[in-house]
Amino acid sequence: MDKKSNWQEFKAVLDEHRIVKLYHFTDRDNLESIIKNGGLYSWMDCERKGIKINKPGGSSVSRQLDSGRNLEDYVRVSFTTQHPMMYVAMKDGRISNPVILEIDPEVIYWNETLYANLNAAKHTIKPIIGPTLSDFKQIHFQSVKFRTHFDLPEEEQPYFQAEVLVKNSFRWSISRILETLVYLFHRSLRLCKSRIHIQPRLQGIRLRHLYSW
């Protein structure tokens, strides 16, 4: 994949903030299709290719918002394993057994990649979305590194959902899959992790299951 001419400046920002991984949540029932089709595709590309998403993370409303902003061809990845929209998708019943795909941050450097300082579909606050280093620097990197958005002041919480938007698809940039179990605690859904069990490689993807108790 061709990189931006100034990709090293993007890398310098990542190095400064010690960001070494990106994440994408989905449901365990989608893993077979992801592996079979060799990676992640935007929901529009899935429709074009006839790829069925068994349990979509996004709602019909989010797809409408995507289309309104010409973002239907992009795969969303974030900086957190505890994305608030994962819990919304669980609450709405779209996913039931969440898994988190750990993504190589090299996708940030690709020519057609975009950056959003908020959830790109957010409508109550207009996100800054664009392909430049200036757009990338609009991300609140100190905020995205917090454990959960609940740990941030209310006015800063929307910036926890900053996104990297990868055009069409990406293959083999998935370094491992983290399986999660979520439970209700003090009115908020939180993610806990304990012991790690490493599974054999599966078509180039290493599975690591993080069990929660």
List, in order, residues 6 or more apart from 159 with CB less than 8 Å away. 117, 118, 139, 140, 143, 144, 152
pLDDT at 197: 31
* Residue 193 falls in which region: left (phi positive, over 0), alpha (psi -120 to 50) or beta: beta
SS (H, E, C) 94-119: CCCCEEEEEECHHHHHECCCEEECCC
pLDDT(175) > 50: yes
Stretch among 2-11, 28-37, 128-137 having the lowest mean pLDDT: 28-37
pLDDT at 179: 52
pLDDT above 90 covers a percentage of the chain that reads 37
pLDDT, tens digit, 9 for 90 and up, residues 67-84: 778 888 899 999 998 888
CB atoms within 10 A of CB 187: 6
Backbone phi and psi for residue 11, each to the nearest 5 degrees, phi listed first: -60, -35
Maximum mean pLDDT: which of 18-32, 96-110, 152-166: 152-166
User: Which residues is 42 bridged to in the sheet?
Assistant: none
